[in-house]
Structure 1
C-alpha cells in the first residue's frame, strides 16, 4: 500500500533521509521507531506529499504521491497528531467533523454532527462531550477526540504521530487498545511513529527501526526482542551505552 524506495531528503547541509526504503502492506500496522531527529516525521510528510524528496520514489497504492488529484489523494488519509492539534475555537463535534464539512466529502450539518457523535462513542466519549470546547477536556479526552477525527471519514490509511505523548501509563494503554481495535475493524493501513515501546508492542504488526536516515531493521513485532541488530537492541532496552550513543 505504501512504498518508499531509496528516498533521500536534506534541508541545507542537514541530511535527514539517506536512502530510506520501506514497504507497508495493505491492512498492515507498521510502527517506525528511532531517536529524536532521525527523520520519522519527515518520512510521514514525504508520504503525504507535504515534503518533496530530493531523490527516490514514494507510491501509495501504486500512485506516485506527487502526481494526480491532491484532494482525492489526501482524502484517503486520516491523521492523529502528536499534540492533538484540535481547533480551540470549535466545539468538539465540529473538530471531529472538520473534513466532513469541507471539500468533496461535504455532508449536511446535521449528518456531520451525527457521524461525529458516533465516532466519539467509538472512542469511549459520551454525546454530551460534543458541544464542549477542547480547553474543557483532559489530555486523554483530547487525544480521543483527535482519534475520532482521524477516523471520521473512514480513511484507508491512518497515520499516528506519537499517539501516547503526554499521557499517563493507564491512558496510554487505553489509547493503544483503541488504535489497535479501530485499525483492525476498519481494515485500514496504519503507519505510526513513536518512542513508546508499550505502544509498539500493542499496535504493531511490523516494526521498522530508523537511524541516520535509513531503516536499520524491519520485521515482525514478535521478533524485536530476539533480533541481533545492536541499534534495535539498544533502543528497545533503553540502554545508555551502545552504537546509537557512540555516534552522537
Structure 2
C-alpha cells in the first residue's frame, strides 16, 4: 500500500532522512520507532505531501504521490494526532465529522451528525458526549474523540502519531486495544510512530526502526526481541550504553 524508496530530506545542513526504504503491505500495521529527532514525523509528513522530499519516490496504492489528485489522495487517509488537535470552538461531533462537513467528502449536516455519533460509540463514548466541547472532556476522552475523527470517513490508511502520549498506563492500554480492534475491523493499512514499547507490542504487525536517517531494522514484531541488532536491542530495552549515543 505504501512504498518509500531512497527517501532523502534535509533542512539546511541537517540531513534528517538519508535514504529511507520501507514497504507497508495493504492491511498491515507498521510501527516506526526511533529516538527523538530521527525523522519519524518527517517521514509521515513526506508521505502526506506536507513536506516535499529532496529525492526518492513515494507510492501509495502503486501510484506516485506527486502525480495524484491531491483531494482524492488525502481522502484516503485518517490521522490521530499526538496532541489530539481538536478544535476548541467546535462541539465534539463537529470535530469528529470535520471532513464530512466540508470539501469533497461533504455530507448533509444531519447525516454527518449521525455518522459522528456512531463513530463516537465505536470508540466507547456515549451519544451525549457529541454535544460537549473538548475542554469538558478528560485527556483519555479527547484521545478517543481524535480516534473517532480519524476513522469517521472510513479511510483505508490511518496514521497514528504517538497515540498514547500524555495518558496513564491504563488508558494507554485501552487506546492501544481500540486502535488494534479498529484497524483489524476496517481492514485498514496503519502506520504508527511511537516511543511507547507497550504500544508497539499491542498494535504492530511489523516494526521498523529509524536511526541516523535510515531504516536500521525492519521485521515482524514477533522477531523484535531476538533481532540481534544492537541498535534495536538498546532502544527497546532503554539502555544508556550501546551504539546509540545518549545525551548526558
TM-score in terms of structure 1 length: 0.99
1:68 Cα offset (Å): 2.1
**Match in the other structure for 1:239:** 239
- Write the distance in 1 (CA, Å) between the matches of 2:51 and 2:3: 16
Superposition RMSD in Å:
1.0
d(CA) in 1 for partners of 2:102, 2:212: 39
The secondary structure found in structure 2 opposite 1:6 is strand
* Partner deviation per Cα, 1:32-86 (whole Å, 9 max, x = no partner): 0000000000000000111111111000011111222100000000000000000
Q: What is the aligned partner in structure 2 of residue 148 from structure 1?
A: 148
1:247 CA drift (Å): 9.0
Alpha carbons 2:240, 2:246 under 8 Å: kept:
no
Give 1:105 shift. Answer: 1.2
Aligned twin of 1:181: 181
Unaligned runs of 5+ in 1: none
Q: For residue 86 of structure 1, what is the aligned residue in structure 2?
A: 86
Q: Does the C-alpha gap of structure 1 residues 246 and 121 become closer, same or farther in structure 2, counting only changes over 3 Å?
A: closer
Distance 1:227 1:69 in 2: 40
Paired position in structure 1 for 2:165:
165
**Aligned pair count?**
248
Cα offset for 1:103? 1.1
CA distance in 1, matches of 2:110, 2:94: 11
Cα distance in 1, alignment partners of residues 6 and 55 from structure 2: 8
Q: Distance in 1 between matches of 2:172 and 2:66?
A: 35
Write the mapping of 1:46-125 to structure 2, written as runs, cut at 5 A. 46-125=46-125
Judging changes above 3 Å, is the alpha-carbon distance between structure 1 residues 247 and 213 closer, same or farther for their aligned structure 2 residues?
farther
Distance in 2 between residues matched to 1:182 and 1:191, nearest whole Å = 13
TM-score by length of 2: 0.99
Does the CA-based 8 Å contact 2:231-2:244 persist in structure 1?
yes
**Cα displacement string for residues 77-123 of structure 1 (whole angstroms, at most 9, x for unaligned residues):** 00000000000000000000000111121111100000000000000
Instruction: Indicate conservation of the 8 Å contact 2:97/2:113, yes or no.
Output: yes
Distance (whole Å) between structure 2 residues aligned to residue 96 and residue 220 of structure 1? 33
2:204, 2:246 → 1: CA distance?
Answer: 28
Q: Give the drift of 1:28.
A: 0.5
Give the SS at the match of 1:121: helix
Which consecutive segments of 4 or more residues in structure 1 shift more than 4 A?
none
Change (3 A) 1:246 1:90: closer
